[in-house]
Structure formats: C-alpha cells, structure tokens
C-alpha cells in the first residue's frame, strides 16, 4: 500500500460496475466526496480525509461486489 491518502484507488473492475454501484458501496462509510470511474477498469474514490478513506479501505478491500472482488489501495499522492 502507498502512504495514507484521502483518495482510494480501486482496480480490477469490469464493465458491469458503474459509478452508481460504487457510490452505493462506498457511501456506507461517512465522508464520501466523489467516485470517479476511469475507462480502463479502475476508479478513484475520494473521502473528506485520510482517516475516513482508511476506514473504507480496511472494511472493503477484498469484498465481493457483483462478479468482482474489490482491490483497494491508497492512491499515489
């Protein structure tokens, strides 16, 4: 994992995962600001601060969403 950051990097997504699905998953953790889906099967998930992002990362890394397993890390600063 990279150094703690308020933005998470989510990789290994497929075309069945939408920004709406990711928003639904990540909004269970307080402080969600933004979900940005990239065209190459990854997304950036932004929280208010590193602590809130860390809570989501700890709870959701390696969890199943649809047909995929979320692979999360802190985004590079």
**Which CATH superfamily, name and number, covers 7-74?**
RRM (RNA recognition motif) domain (3.30.70.330)
| Sign for the pseudo-dihedral over CA of 61, 64, 65, 68 | positive
The radius of gyration computed from the CA coordinates of the chain, to the nearest angstrom, equals: 11
Domain boundaries, the chain: 7-74
- pLDDT band of 2, cuts 50, 70, 90: confident
- pLDDT band of 64, cuts 50, 70, 90: very high
The CA–CA distances, whole Å, from 13 to 3, 30, 31, 37, 52 equal: 23, 23, 23, 9, 22
Quick one: pLDDT at residue 1?
56
Model pTM score: 0.93
pLDDT digit string, tens, across residues 4-63: 999 999 999 998 999 999 999 999 999 999 999 998 899 999 999 999 999 999 999 999
What are the structure tokens assigned to 4, written together?
């703690």
């Amino acid at each position: 994992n990279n150094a703690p950051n308020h933005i998470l990097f989510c990789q290994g997504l497929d075309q069945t995962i939408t920004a709406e699905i990711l928003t639904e998953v990540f909004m269970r953790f307080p402080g969600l600001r933004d979900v940005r889906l990239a065209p190459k099967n990854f997304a950036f998930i932004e929280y208010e601060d590193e602590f809130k992002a860390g809570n989501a990362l700890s709870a959701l890394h390696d969890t199943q969403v649809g047909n995929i397993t979320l692979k999360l890390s802190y985004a590079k600063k």
